[in-house]
Amino acid sequence: DAGHYDNGGYEHYLLKEISEQPDTVARTLRGRLDDRFHIAHLGGLNMDARETRSFRRVKIIGCGSAYYSGQMGAQLIEELARIPADAEPASEFRYRSPVVEPDTLYVAISQSGETYDTLAAVQELKRKGGRVLGIVNTVGSAIARETDGGIYLHAGPEVSVASTKAFISTAVAFALLALHLGRVRDLSPADGRRICEGLRRLPEQIKEILTLEDRIRELAKKYADSPGMMFVGRVRGYPVAREGAQKLKEISYVHAEAYPASELKHGPLALISPELPTVAIVPDDELLDKNLTTLGEIRARHGRILMVGHRTSEAADDCIVVPKNEVELDPILLTIPLQLFAYHAAVALDRDVDRPRNLAKSVTVE
Ligand code: G6P
C-alpha cells in the first residue's frame, strides 16, 4: 500500500523508483561479484558445482514485466553460459501441460512473489519434480518459499503498479546467474572479468541516463499525443522494445506494439504512417547496420522515428544516446530511457501514473 512508504519528495512513486535505480542495482550486486576469479557468488541458489554444470536447458516463467525481464535473462544465459534458454508467460505455461525435464533449470520471476499464475506454475513444476529457482524481490513471499533457492533482488519495496526498478534488478540478477552458470562451463576468465567490470559500471551509467530526463520529457510530450506507437528492436533489443511498449500502454494508455525490427516487413509495415511513430532500439552491436536499414524503410513510409541507442543517426527524427557498456549488458541500460519516456507521456496526458486504471500491483487471483 502506497501510504506506508515515503515518496521521497517525488511527485509520483514511479519517478522515485526510476530515480533510485543507481542504488537498487548496486544493492542487487552487493557482495555478489568476485573480482579475483571473475565469478558471481549466489549462495541462495543452494546448488553445488556439479549440479550447476548439469543443466542442459533453462526455462524462465513470469507474468507481465517479469516475463519480459525473463526474456532479457534468457538472452543473457544463452550468450554467457551457452545454455539454450527461453522465457514464457507463467499463465500460459501452467495450462499447456509442459514437459518437465530433470536437466532443465526452471526460473520463476516475480517482484511481489505472490502472483497467482506464477505461484501455480511453480507448484505444478515441483509436483512433477522440476528444479525451480526464484528471482524475487519480496523476502519470504510465497514464490520465495516454494522455490528450491534463488536470488533476492534487494531492490526495496516497489509501490507504483508499473514495474521499473524490479525489472532492471531482475535483469541484473540474470546477468549474475548467467555469469555464475557460464564460469563453471565455457565462459573464459577474460570474459568473466569483462562482465564483472561491466556490471560494476551500471550504477554510474544509470545516473548518467537519469540526467537526460529533461530532454526525454520534451520527447514524451512531442510523441505522446499519437494514437499509437510502434517499438522495434532485434535480438538483444527486442525485450527492451517489449518492456518499453508495456510501460507506455500501462501508464499512458497509448496503444503500443512491440515487434522485432526484422519482422516489420512481414506485416506491421502496413501500419507505418506519420500517425504511428516508432521507437527504435538500436544498440551499437553487430546488427547496427541492419537496424539502420530498417529505419530507412520506416522513413520511406513517412514514419517518425525516435531512436534509442549509442549514437545519433540521420535516419531518425530524434535520438536518445545512452552510455555504452558490454554488448550483453547494454539492454539493461537501454530500458531506462523508455521508463522515463512512458512516465512523462503519462504525466503529459494527465494519467493516474501510480495507479493506472484496470491494473493491480500484484494479481493474486487467477
Ligand atoms: C501485475 C503488475 C505488473 C507486473 C506483474 C507481475 O500485472 O501490474 O507490473 O509485472 O503483475 O508481477 P510480479 O509481482 O509477479 O513480478
Question: CB atoms < 10 A from the CB of 114, how many?
Answer: 18
Q: What is the mean pLDDT of the chain?
A: 95
The C-alpha atoms of residue 135 and residue 110 are separated, in whole angstroms, by 6
Is the CB of 170 within 6 Å of ligand 1?
no
Q: What is the pLDDT of residue 365?
A: 80
User: What residue owns the CA closest to ligand 1's atom 2?
Assistant: 361
For the cut 50, the answer to whether the pLDDT of residue 307 exceeds it is yes
Distance 363 CA to ligand 1 centre (A): 7
From the list 323, 330, 337, the residue with the least C-alpha distance to 219 is 337
Please say whether the beta carbons of 69 and 174 come within 8 A: yes
Q: Which residue has the cell 530511457?
A: 337
Please say whether the beta carbons of 200 and 327 come within 8 A: no
Backbone angles phi, psi at 146, to 5 degrees: -80, -20
The C-alpha atoms of residue 98 and residue 90 are separated, in whole angstroms, by 11
pLDDT-based confidence at residue 259 (cuts at 50, 70, 90): very high
Regarding pTM above 0.95, the answer is yes
Has 59 been annotated as catalytic? Answer: no
Is the CB of 163 within 6 Å of ligand 1?
yes
For the cut 80, the answer to whether the pLDDT of residue 220 exceeds it is yes
Is the CB of 320 within 6 Å of ligand 1?
no
The C-alpha atoms of residue 203 and residue 238 are separated, in whole angstroms, by 23
> What are 131-143's pLDDT values in tens digits?
999 999 999 999 9
Between these two residues, 76 and 362, which has the higher pLDDT value?
Answer: 76
pLDDT-based confidence at residue 4 (cuts at 50, 70, 90): low
Share of the chain above pLDDT 90, in %: 90
For the cut 50, the answer to whether the pLDDT of residue 1 exceeds it is no
Is the CB of 66 within 6 Å of ligand 1?
yes
From the list 21, 60, 32, the residue with the least C-alpha distance to 158 is 21
For the cut 60, the answer to whether the pLDDT of residue 263 exceeds it is yes
> What are 60-101's pLDDT values in tens digits?
999 999 999 999 999 999 999 999 999 999 999 989 888 999
The pick from 110, 251, 358, 362 for probing ligand 1's pocket by mutation, whose C-beta has the most ligand atoms within 8 angstroms, reads 362
| Concatenated DSSP letters of 28-47 | HHTT-EETTTTEE--GGG--
| Ligand 1 atom index nearest CA of 62 | 15
Q: What is the pLDDT of residue 233?
A: 97
Distance 29 CA to ligand 1 centre (A): 22
